[in-house]
Structures are given as C-alpha cells and as structure tokens.
Amino acid sequence: MDLERFKVHGEPLIYGAMISIALATIGIIVGLTYFKKWGYLWREWLTTVDHKRIGVMYILAALLMLFRGGIDAMMMRLQTAAPEMKFLDAQHYNEVFTTHGLIMILFMAMPFIIGLMNVIIPLQIGARDVAFPRLNAVSFWLFFFGAMLLNISFVIGGSPDAGWSAYFPLASLEFSPTVGNNYYSLALQISGIGTLITGVNFIVTILKMRAPGMTLMKMPMFTWSVLITNIIIVFAFPVLTVALALMMFDRLFGSQFFTMANGGMDMLWANLFWVWGHPEVYIVILPAFGIYSEIIATFSKKNLYGYTSMVFSMLIISLLSFLVWTHHFYTMGQGVMVNSFFSITTMAIAVPTGVKIFNWLFTLRKGRITFNTPMLYTLAFIPIFTIGGVTGVMLAMASADYQYHNTMFLVAHFHYVLIPGAVFAVIAGFHYWFPKVFGFRLNDRLGRHAFWWIAISFNVTFFPLFFLGLMGMTRRTYTYSAETGYGPLNMLSFAGAIGLSIGFLLLVYNIYWSTRYMPKDKTGDPWDGRTLEWATGSPIPAYNFAVVPNVKTRDAFWSAKQDNIPLFEEKITKIHMPSNTGKPFILGVIFFFFGFSLVFSLWIPAILSGIGILIVMATMSFDRDHGFYIPAEEVIATEKKLRGETV
Amino acid sequence: MKIDASKPLEYATEENSNKIFGFWVFLGAEIPLFATLFTVYFIMVNRYASGPSGREIFEIGPVLIETFLLLSSSFTIGLAIHAMRHGYKKAMMVFMAITLLMGLGFIGIEIDEFFTYIHEGATLQTSGFLSSLFVLLGTHGAHVSFGFLWGVAIMIQLWRQGINPATANKAFIFSLFWHFLDVVWIFIFSFVYLKGLM
C-alpha cells in the first residue's frame, strides 16, 4: 500500500494542526482515564436516547465546529488583510475557504439548530420524547462521524479544495486529483443521511405526539418553524444524496455524469447542488425565525402579532425555496427566459419575509420590552438581516447580477443573511433556553458584553466587503496587488474579524463563569415564559412532564398562569421510558470506517465495514427491548426535589 | 403498552401507528430521490457519445420476466398481509417466502442483464447515458436487495415470535416498502425500457 497518499506535506500550519489534534486526543484519553469517567461517558452520553442529552451533544459539537470554522475564517481574513501576504499559499487558501463554508453551514449552523430542536420541541408540544428515540441517536452519531470524517481530511490526505459548492469540472478527478473531494462526497453523505432521519423523526413527533388539545394552530411558533423545516429537509436532502452519490461514482468509479467528454454534463452538478442548496438556506433560517418569534413574544410580554400570517409566510417561503435555485448561476448561460423566471421567484421571497419582519415589529410595539442578551441579539437581527435581504433583492435581478456575480459583494450579502439569520438566532436561543437545560442562567452582563463585540465587529468585518465587491474584488482570491486598492478595506475587515473572535471568546468565558458562579433557578420559569417548556422543572427531569399537560389555548403556559387554568389535571402514574443503547454509536463508528475506506479506495475494508453496517442494523431489528417504567413514587419524589422541597 | 383492540394489530399501539406514519414520510423522501435519478436519466438519455444507445442494448425478454416477477410479488406480499390480518402465521410465511423468492429472481435477472451490457462493451464508464442507466437501475436493484435481506430478518422474527403487534408492524411496513419498489419499477419499465425501445 502506498502510504504517501495519506500524508499532507510542507505546511508548518498543518503540522501544527496535526500536533494539536494529537495532543488534544491524548489529553482527552488521559483525562477520562484519570478521572475514571469512561463508564460515565458511555452510560450517560454515548448510549443515551434522551432527546435532551442528544440535543446537548449536538450543540457541543456545533460549538466545536464553530471554532474550527472560525479559525478558518481568521486565517482567510489574515491572508487577505494586506496585499501580497505570504501567510497561506493558493492551495492551502482553497482548502481553507472550502472547509470554512462546509463546516459553518453543515456542521455548525445545522447541528446547532437541530440541537435546539431536540432539546425544545418535545417540551413545547408536551411530549415525553421524540417519536423514535433510538433513531434520534442514530441521526446524531451519523452527523457526528460525518463531521469527524471531514475534519480529519485536513491532516490525512488533504481537504476538499473546490469550494463548498464543489462545481464541476473543477471538482472532477481530472482537475482535483487529491482525495479532498472524495472526503466531500462521503462525509456529507453520511451526515446527510443522519439529517434525513432527523427530518422524518421530527415530522412524526410534531404531527402525532402533541399534548391533548394542542391543535396545529395552537402550536408555538418555534414548533411550526421546525415542522416546516423538517418537511423541507425530507424533500431537499434526497437530492443531495443523489448528487453526492453521482459525484462519488464519477470520482471513484469513473462514471461520466459531470465530465467534459463522453456525454457528461458539468452543469448538471450545479443544478442538483442548488436544488438542495437553496432549500438548505431556509433549513437554517426558518427555525431561526421561530426562535426570534418566541423571544420577541416573551420579552415584550405580548402575544405574537399575526400568528396565522407568520405560519402562512413560512409555508410560502418553504414552497418558493424550491423554485429559485438557478439564481446561483445566472451567468452560466441558461438564457433570458429562464433567468427572468428565477429572478421573479427570488424577489417574491422578499414578500413573505417582509411580512414576518413587520409582524415582529408590531409585536414589539407597545410591548413591555426587557433588554437582556437574547432580546439584544433579536433586536440586532432585524436591521442587519434587512440589509442582507435588500442586497439579496439586488442580486436577484439577473441583469444586475452580472456585475455582482462571484464578487465580495455576494460574500458580504450571504454573511449578512446567515450570521444575523442563523448565528445570532442560535446564540439567542442558547441564552434563552440555557436555564431550562442546566438549571441556571448565563450571566447577562457578560452576555451583553459579548453581544456588543459580536454585533459591532460583524458590521466592521462584512460591510467593507460590499464596497470591495463593487470595486471588483472577486471572492476566493487568495491575494492581490497593492495597485488594486483593495488593501485598506480588507485591513478594516480583518480588524473586525479580531473583534468577532473576542466576542465569541467572551461568550465561552461566560459559559465557564456562569457554571461556577450563577445561582440555581428553582422556578423552572426564569423568564416568565409563555410556552409549555417552561411548565416543567429545570433541569428537565428525564420524563419531561410528570403528567401530560392539557392544552386549551395558544401560549398555553402563559394563559394558565394569567387565568389560573390548571395545566396538569391527571394523577401521576408510572412512566414508560426507552432504554439506552450503544448500537447507534457503534453504527456511527462503522460508517466512519466505511467512509474513510471509500475515500482512499480501500475496497476490502470498505466491503467489510459495509457488511458491518448491515449486521448492526440487523441486530437493531432483532432487539426485543421494550424499555422500562419509572414508578409513580419515584416521579413524585423527583418532582418534589425540583421544587426544592425535602423528600 | 396499551393495545387498542379496535384497530388491526399493526396499528394497535401508539408506537406502531407512529412507525407506520414515519415510514410513509420516509417513502415521501424516496420519491424525490428516485425523481432526481429519473431526471438525471432523462437529461442523459441522448448523451450516449460513442457508446451504444438504449435501443441498441435493451432486450424486451428479460425485462418482461423482471416485470412479471416484481408485479406478482407485490400481489403475494398483499396476500401475506391479508393472511396476517386473519392470524394465519403459516400462510403468511409462505406468501412472504414466495415474495422474497420472486425478488431474488428479479435481482438475478438484473445482475445477468448488467453482465450482458458490460460484455457488449456498455459499461458505467462508457457514456453519460450508461452511467445514468446503471445508477438508476442499480439504486432500484439495491433497494430490492436490501428489501430481500430485511424480509428474511422479519421472517425469522415471525417464525420465532409468531404474529404479535411488533412483528405485524414490521411486516406491514415491509409490505409498504415492497409496493413502493413496484411503483418505481413501473416507471422504469415504461420510461426507460419501453420508451427506449420505441
């Protein structure tokens, strides 16, 4: 076997990365052994099927990936901070912008949102768990090992380097001969299957497991947004599955889908990629809209304005999201008629989005507003996202797009949409629901400090890119000459990027500080909340609700508090729970080896691990584990303890 | 676990009915998957470059046998579910076995067809048309093969445990999957083979 293929040469930065990965791994192993935590880790986390713990693991993984992607971003901003920088070479720069995009969208934004979804949705609908707890664990481990597979590409064999959209013919074997894009097709495939399973799981959970009395139009807005998001996932991800499979066939088995000769068609990839890729944008942004709706209603002490129009605007957005994909490549010659059609559908999305913006503003109007960390992110989101939206309409005009296409203007636009749209939302949601999961709040003063660093630095980083784009600077350029005049604005942008890093470090410091010093919250309802998740104790007991709540109105918990309607009427009885299982984790590990073997065309290990996957699935089918019951006395004792009474 | 006697066994518990609904949603995801593969095929169908076109390699004989086997197996799995509803374990097992054997026959003919193509010099690498043909047929064939293994696993469980809410649920979901593969095959038969031979 040719070991050379596994090595990455020449870059001191990569050697640094290798050493730090090795040290971190050794550190984790030594730490776990020293504190005798292996058993705890296995029993409580790796084998868990509890939606709350799975959610927490999703969020932890997303935070890790946020830092990996953030370091990529810093390297890019440093490399372009001044003309003729020698920090990264062209190849390394290509790898860094590719992995930055992939990681931030697929391994940061998505899992962060899916994590919040996991923690909150069963609570908001008054359920004890998701519909298929074991499958939920399978989803997580497939996502996790897909993410790990992409991350090791950096040090073993080389990262993908054809951009996160991996356009053909550039991404073909002919022009990208390294294994980088094999990693792309396999790592995304594995985590994509996990996401698809999540989609199925949450559709069933939301449609079939709501508390009695909660009709569809009484669901909290976050639940609505998640339902619609998962419908998009179920219809969009199979397209990615096919696209990635065809890419794998082209690269590993020499098929002719996207080639330049023998009847292949390179544009087919661009179309397939964006038929998935554009709905993907809404997969990360609709739940964000749901999070903001919850936060605005809670901290304005008002009902959400225009509930019905909120729901319908999301439905219209989800439909339109499948009808706009061509706007990503207006300049690639599909003619005036096609461009006009997609131009109109693209601009049409601004209408339902505008409806939502006005609904939030009307909810704020005459509200008693609390300015705390989650609310600040929400309030900052509205104007910043509007800038992103308006520049989006500029880009949507096909004829004008010939000027903006592939310039830094586009880069500025989508960061203006995705960062306030998705990142601010998950951070706001993180602060908002943190006390529910851990039983104490994050410090608000530190949180607001971090917010101002992040919000201001974000604009300093990305606003100059609009001008750079209009000046003609193309995206994905690794360096430029001083005569272009791009230097000063790029330097300003780099300064902003440093500010952003400080903001994110403050955010992490806040988690550390609050864990040590913040007082316990005994009420379970620290924000005077409106929806059912605040009706149970914090941290949430394993069974979520001792008694299934009876829902009569929208914002059920709020009206229960206002009008003294009892939410929980029945007596506490024994509660059925699913038992933990290690099989989803093992399945993830085998999928990892399967993917890795295919990346390097190691056929025998690939076939063996393929058989291994089938065997694990078969053993899961043969399991006759019907879970266990928590006895009523134990439930009553736990409930008393949560309310601070002595047992 | 609460069993609702007014419903058929496969729907009798809340978990069971959730699983069936979840599988319908999953089939909802299989539709865009196959729709994308069909789209790719329709785009590629005339891009056979220097290789053979569909008319030159398709043979109606084996395809008709494949169609006959798969359509009949859809009928027999229906009979198996019918027997299950009446609680006839033995009849159910027999009909499932016939279904799976016909599935196996289908896979055998498809593999033979692939070898014939390759022997004639029509390989995955030859042209865009052939790549899309092999991947479309192969994906369907892989589904049938997976279905075969799955069906065997369910039969073992039926044999050991008899018809109970869990096994009935599994067999019913398997039958949904099998019918779905049949529907996909009807599209392949009409739009790949018949249209290609025209």
Per-residue pLDDT tens over the stretch A43-70: 889 999 999 999 999 999 999 999 999 9
**Over residues A495-518, mean pLDDT:** 95
* Best B125, B136, B173 residue to mutate vs chain A (most A CBs within 10 Å): B125
B29–A259 C-beta distance less than 8 A: no
Residue B190 domain flag: yes
* B1 CB within 8 Å of a chain A CB: yes
ipTM for this prediction: 0.95
B54 touches A at CB < 8 Å: no
For range A263-290, the mean pLDDT:
95
B21 lies within 8 A of chain A by CB: yes
The whole-number pLDDT of residue A35 equals 85
Count the alpha carbons within 13 Å of A640 in the hemisphere toward its beta carbon: 10
A-B contacts at Cβ under 8 angstroms: 119
A265 contacts on B by Cβ (under 8 Å):
43-44, 47, 128
Reported as a pLDDT band with limits 50, 70 and 90, residue A133 is very high
Instruction: Identify all chain B residues contacting A263, using CB atoms and an 8 Å cutoff.
Output: 44, 47-49, 51, 127-129
Q: Which residues of B touch A268 (CB under 8 A)?
A: 40, 43
Contacts of A444 (CB under 8 A, 6+ apart): A372, A373
pLDDT in tens, B44-64: 999 998 899 999 999 999 999
Task: State how far residue B148 is from chain A, nearest Cα, in angstroms.
Answer: 12
- What are the two backbone dihedrals, phi and then psi, of residue A86, each rounded to the nearest 5 degrees? -115, 20
Question: Which positions 56-115 of B are in contact with A (Cβ < 8 Å)?
Answer: none
Q: Facing residues of A575 across strands?
A: A630
Q: Is B124 on the interface with A (CB under 8 A)?
A: yes
pLDDT tens, residue by residue, B64-122:
999 999 999 999 999 999 999 999 999 999 999 999 999 999 999 999 999 999 999 99
Length, in residues, of chain B? 198
Three-class DSSP category at A306 = coil
The tokens describing A31, both together, are 């730490």
User: Is it the case that residue A17 has pLDDT exceeding 80?
Assistant: no
3-state secondary structure (DSSP) of residue A166: coil
Mean pLDDT of A268-287: 95
- Residues B91/B93/B97/B98 CA torsion (nearest 10 deg): 20
pLDDT at site A37: 83
By Cβ distance, the residue of B25, B43, B50 closest to A200 is: B25
CATH number for B121: 1.20.120.80
CB atoms within 10 A of CB A397: 17
In the three-class reduction of DSSP (H, G, I as helix; E, B as strand; rest coil), residue A49 is classed as: coil
Is residue B149 a part of any domain in this protein? yes
Residue of B nearest to A628 (CA): B1
- The pLDDT value given to residue A9: 63
Query: Could you give the residue ranges of the DSSP H alpha helices within B89-191?
Result: 89-119, 128-161, 165-187
A215-224, A504-513, A622-631, B160-169: least confident range: A622-631
- Searching chain B, which residue's CA lies closest to the CA of residue A242? B33
Q: With cut-offs at 50, 70 and 90, classify the pLDDT of residue A523.
A: confident
Number of domains in chain B: 1
Residue B50 contacts A, CB cutoff 8 Å: yes
Q: Which residue of B has its CA nearest to A129?
A: B15
* HSE-CB for A493 with a 13 A CA cutoff: 27
| pLDDT tens readout for residues A424-433 | 999 999 999 9
Q: For A27-41, A200-214, A273-287, which range has the lowest pLDDT when averaged over its residues?
A: A27-41
The predicted-structure confidence for B130-179, as pLDDT tens digits, reads as follows 999 999 999 999 999 999 999 999 999 999 999 999 999 999 999 999 99
B44 interaction partners in chain A (CB closer than 8 Å):
257, 263, 265
Give the lowest-confidence range in A154-158, A285-289, A294-298, A466-470.
A154-158
- CB within 8 Å: A263 and B44: yes
Which pLDDT belongs to residue A570? 82
Does any domain span residue B2? Answer: no
| A572-576, long-range: CB < 8 A, 24+ apart | A572/A546, A572/A547, A572/A632, A572/A635, A572/A636, A572/A639, A573/A632, A574/A629, A574/A630, A574/A631, A574/A632, A574/A635, A575/A128, A575/A543, A575/A546, A575/A629, A575/A630, A575/A635, A576/A128, A576/A627, A576/A628, A576/A629, A576/B1
Q: Does B53 touch chain A (CB under 8 A)?
A: no
Q: Out of A209, A234, A264, whose CB is closest to B29?
A: A234
Length of chain A: 647
pTM: 0.95
Of residues B28, B29, B135, nearest to A246 (C-beta): B135
pLDDT confidence of residue A335:
87
CATH of domain A37-581+625-642: 1.20.210.10
Give the chain A residue nearest B139 (alpha carbons): A242
How does strand A628-630 pair with strand A575-577? Answer: antiparallel
- Quote the CA–CA distance of A291 and A533 in Å, as a whole number: 13
pLDDT of amino acid A490: 96
Contact A209 B1 (CB under 8 A): no
Q: Of A132, A239, A621, which has the smallest distance from its Cβ to B22's Cβ?
A: A132
- A489 pLDDT band, cuts 50/70/90, is very high
Cα separation of B181 and B70, whole Å?
9
For B:126-155, CB contacts with A below 8 A are: 126-132, 134-135, 149-150, 153-154
Average pLDDT over every residue of A251-274: 94
Q: How many CB atoms lie within 10 A of CB B62?
A: 14
| pLDDT value for A600 | 94
The pLDDT of residue A611 is above 60: yes
Q: Which residue has the tokens 């100059």?
A: A464
Domain residue limits at B105: 9-45+54-197
Residue B50 phi/psi, 5° resolution?
A: -90, 0
> Does the distance separating the beta carbons of A236 and B29 come in below 8 Å?
no
What is the C-alpha separation between A499 and A398, in angstroms, rounded? 35
